[in-house]
Amino acid sequence: MNTPNPLTSRKSGPLEGTIKVPGDKSISHRALMLGAITVGETIISGLLEGEDVLATAEAMRSLGAEVCKGSDGLWHIYGTGIGGLKEPKEALDMGNSGTGVRLLMGLVAGHAITTKFTGDGSLSGRPMNRIIKPLEMMGATFETSDGGTLPLTVIGNEDTMPLEYRLPVASAQVKSAILLAGLSAPGRTTVIEERPTRDHTERMLRHFGLGVDVQDMKDGSQAISIIGQQELEPCAVDVPGDPSSAAFPAVAALLNKGSELRLCGICVNERRMGLYVTLQEMGADISYEHERIVAGEPVADIIVRGTGTLKGIDVPPERVPSMIDEFPALAMVAACAEGTTKMTGLGELRVKESDRLLMVTEGLKACGISLEMGEDSLTINSNGRHPIGGATIKTALDHRIAMAFLALGTATDEPITIDDATPIKTSFPNFEELMEDLGAEINQSTKKN
Ligand code: S3P
Q: Enumerate the β-bridge partners of residue 339.
A: 382
Q: What is the pLDDT of residue 308?
A: 85
pLDDT band at residue 1, thresholds of 50, 70 and 90? low
* Mean per-residue pLDDT of the chain: 97
| DSSP characters over 104-149 | HHHHHHTSS-EEEEE--TTGGGS--HHHHHHHHHTT-EEEEETTTE
Nearest CA to ligand 1 atom 16: 171
pLDDT at 120 over 50: yes
Q: What element of type H or E holds 352?
A: none
**Average pLDDT in the 282-306 region?**
98
pLDDT at 347 over 80: yes
Pairing of strands 260-267, 297-305: antiparallel
Task: Please confirm, yes or no, whether 419 is among the known catalytic residues.
Answer: no
CA distance 392 to 410: 14
- For residue 273, the tally of other CB atoms under 10 A from its CB is 21
pLDDT digits 0-9 by tens, 43-72: 999 999 999 999 999 999 999 999 999 999
Alpha helices per DSSP H over 259-417: 274-281, 327-334, 356-366, 399-409
CA of residue 158 to ligand 1 center, whole Å: 27
pLDDT at 448 over 60: no
Exactly one of 24, 120, 301, 325 is catalytic; name it: 325
| DSSP characters over 384-437 | SSPP-B--EE--TT-HHHHHHHHHHHTTSSB-EEES--GGGGGT-TTHHHHHHH
CA of residue 97 to ligand 1 center, whole Å: 10
Cα–Cα nearest to 227, from 249, 200, 209: 209
Mutating to test ligand 1, I would choose from 171, 244, 271, 426 the residue with most ligand atoms within 8 A of its C-beta, which is 171
pLDDT digits 0-9 by tens, 197-220: 999 999 999 999 999 999 999 999
| Max CA pair span of the chain | 65
pLDDT band at residue 3, thresholds of 50, 70 and 90? confident
Query: Which residue ranges form the domains of the chain, and what is each CATH number?
Result: 7-23+240-444 (3.65.10.10), 25-238 (3.65.10.10)
Cα–Cα nearest to 172, from 150, 208, 201, 194: 201
Mutating to test ligand 1, I would choose from 173, 191, 245 the residue with most ligand atoms within 8 A of its C-beta, which is 173
pLDDT band at residue 445, thresholds of 50, 70 and 90? low
